Every structure is written in C-alpha cells, then in structure tokens.
Amino acid sequence: MGKSIVITSGKGGVGKTTAVANIGTGLAMRGLKVALVDTDIGLRNLDLLLGLENRIVYNIVDVVEGKCSLKQALVKDKRLNNLYLLPAAQTKEKEAVSIDQMKEVINDLKIEFDYVIIDSPAGIEHGFKSAISGADEAIVITTPEVSSVRDADRVIGLLEAYGLRDPRLIINRVRFDMVRNGEMLGVDDLLDILSIELLGIIPEDENLIISVNKGEPIIYSGNKYKSALAFNLIVKRLLGEDVSWDELEKSESFIEKIFKIFKG
Amino acid sequence: MIITNIWGKKMSSKEIAKERLQVILVYDRAKIEPKMIESLKEDLIKAVSKYLTFEPDNMRIELSQEDNKSILRIDIPLKE
C-alpha cells in the first residue's frame, strides 16, 4: 500500500502544481511508482507542466462516472514509465467528484502506486476538502508574502481540523538576497509565525518559467538550477534522508558569485 | 527600506510584515474581526463606568495566543 500526499496552499499561484510536478517526477526518477492526481476540476494545469496535455483521453470525472476504468484514465509520462497522471476534467463543474468518490479513487491508486501526490485547487471549499480527503499526509506551500502566509495559516488550521496532523511546509520563491537585506520574510520568520515543520525551501528561479514553457519539470536537469536542487532536497527529505538546508543557500550564493564574475 | 514604526523604532519591511502577520493571525485563529474588539471596548467602558471610576484611555484590551488557546486580556487601571 502506497502513501498519499496532498499539496495545498489556500492562496492560488504560489506554486502548488509546480511542486506536485517536480516532487512527483523526482520520486519517479528514484525508481518509485508514482501517480499524480489533478483535483482542480475545471481548471486543469498539471498536464501542461508535465507536457502531457495532448495525451489525455479520459479524466477523473470519467472514472467516477464509470465511463472508463481508472487504468484507462491514467496517462503515462513521456520519459518515465513509472510516472502517471490522473488528469482533472476541464469542462465539468467543481463538484463533479464527491468527497467519497475522491477518497475511493485515491485509495485505489494507493494499491498500485508507491506514492500518490494530490494537487489541490486553490481555496478552502469543496475542491480543497475533496483533495485532502484521501490524503495520508499534507504539504502546505507558501511564498514569503503576507497574504500567502495568512492563507497558509488558515489551511494549516483546517488540515488539522480534518485530521491531517502535522502538515509540513514548503516555502517557495525565496530571495535570499532580499531576506538578508531585511526586505523579505525569511525561513526562520515563517517557521516562527506558522509553527510547522519545514520540508523545503525553493529559491526564486527564472528557469522554472522556462521549464513550464517547455512542459518539462525542472528536476530533470538534476542539480543544474537552484530550484531543481531545491526540489531534489525536498524529495530526499520526503524519503526520510537527513537534509541540511544550508546546502541550498550556500549553493545559491555560490552560483550568484559565479554569475557576478561572468557579468564582470 | 527602513521605516519607523509607531514607537519610533526603526523597522525593516520584513519586520513590519512579521509584526502585521503575528497580529492578524491571532485574530484569524480566534475567528474574531479586529473591529469587534473596538466595539467591545466601547461597550465595556459604558458598562464599567456605571460602577467604577477609571480613565478609558488607560484601558488595554489584548488578544493573544498561548498553547493553541486564544486569550483576551482586559486591563482597567482604576482611579484611586
């Protein structure tokens, strides 16, 4: 029986889907059998980040409506044959999948897969409740902005109220230079405010935009880019390895230094 | 950018963000609108004034959080 993990945030646009695509790909790159589930019915995006948008035949709503089997709806990744996507429906209503139906789908996937990573929609309504319903663990993602942190706090409270204890935190779009200058909330500040365990820090990285343009998760590049290194550290930590976060900041300042040398 | 807060202490924008968040999250977690505390203060002044003499300006109402519990503290220093 595999493990299901939901990635959620409350606020939209903070990097949930990017995190799902990269963490899922990272786990699959280590040989684990991984299913990614897009629960954002009506606003499907995970397929685009994985470059699988042209391969979708069926979706999660078709599965619960009995139009196809779960196996038929799963889309195999382009490169990794142990990575699959269960797409959301793009044309259905948000309530098309009930909480019980979602739970059943996730449970069925857990039988086949080592990891089921669930991409939650923004908000705290039906879609959120259904996305977390089948999850064994939760990851909350936030950026260092006050609005995003406030929403994250709300979501942490809701997760605990729904029985998902001890969610872990990913802080996205961190600019270490701004943190050092007192212009951005740092990792310590956020942990202080949210009192939650840290799972990862992702530095702001323009290469991520390029990877989304191409539909190739940046983690494929290994540790070439700082965000890819960050996702690799998150995957390691998820698998129970001991990871020092200093590694990331050091590597960033190292990369910055090299850039400065080249820029003269 | 360095901004001065209401007590005249120099604060970075990061410190301002942290302070604002810490205050609003106490209200969010307690499911209380900050404005409600203001109304409560006004009602308390009316009610307590009936029985005791005090300076309304010296009254302090503070919502805080300890061990996952929201605590409302009301301080009313009485006139001698």
- A→B contacts (Cβ < 8 Å), by residue, are 146, 149-150, 153-154, 157, 179, 181-186, 189, 192-193
- B→A contacts (Cβ < 8 Å), by residue, are 1-2, 12-15, 17-18, 20-22, 24-25, 28-29
pLDDT for residue B69 is more than 60? yes
Residue-level pLDDT at A246 = 73
Buried-exposed string A230-258: b where 16+ CB fall within 10 A, e elsewhere: bbbbbbebbeeeebeeeebbebbeeeeee
Chain B residues close to A146, C-beta within 8 Å? 17, 20-21
d(CA B26, nearest CA chain A) in Å = 10
Task: Spell out the alpha helix ranges (H) of chain B.
Answer: 13-30, 34-49
d(CA A185, nearest CA chain B) in Å = 5
Residue-level pLDDT at B68 = 77
**How many folded domains does chain A comprise?**
1
Q: Are strands B60-66 and B69-75 parallel, antiparallel or unpaired?
A: antiparallel
pLDDT per residue as tens, chain A (264 positions): 999 999 999 899 999 999 999 999 999 999 999 999 999 999 999 999 999 999 999 999 999 999 999 999 999 999 999 999 999 999 888 889 999 999 999 999 999 999 999 999 999 999 999 999 999 999 999 999 999 999 999 999 999 999 999 999 999 999 999 999 999 999 999 999 999 999 999 999 999 999 999 999 999 998 889 999 999 999 999 999 988 877 776 766 666 666 556 654
Structure-block tokens of residue A256: 């910055």
Residue-level pLDDT at B6 = 57
Residue-level pLDDT at A224 = 86
Residue-level pLDDT at A264 = 45
* Residue numbers of the domain that contains A163: 3-263
Phi, psi of A113 (to 5 degrees): -115, 155
pLDDT tens digits, one per residue of B1-52: 555 655 566 789 999 999 999 999 999 999 999 889 989 999 999 999 999 9
CATH number of domain containing A208:
3.40.50.300
CA-CA distance, A115 to A128, in Å (whole number)?
20
Cβ burial of B33 (10 Å; 0-12, 13-18, 19+) is exposed
Task: Express the helix, strand and coil content of chain B in percent, nearest 5 each.
Answer: 45, 30, 25
Tell which wins on pLDDT, B45 or B69: B45
> Quick check: helix, strand or coil at residue A102?
helix
Residue-level pLDDT at B9 = 66
CA-CA distance, A95 to A126, in Å (whole number)?
7
**CB distance B25–A193 less than 8 Å?**
yes
**CB distance A153–B29 less than 8 Å?**
yes
Chain A residues close to B17, C-beta within 8 Å? 146, 185, 189
* Averaged pLDDT for residues B54-58: 92
In sign, the C-alpha dihedral spanning A97, A100, A106, A111 is negative
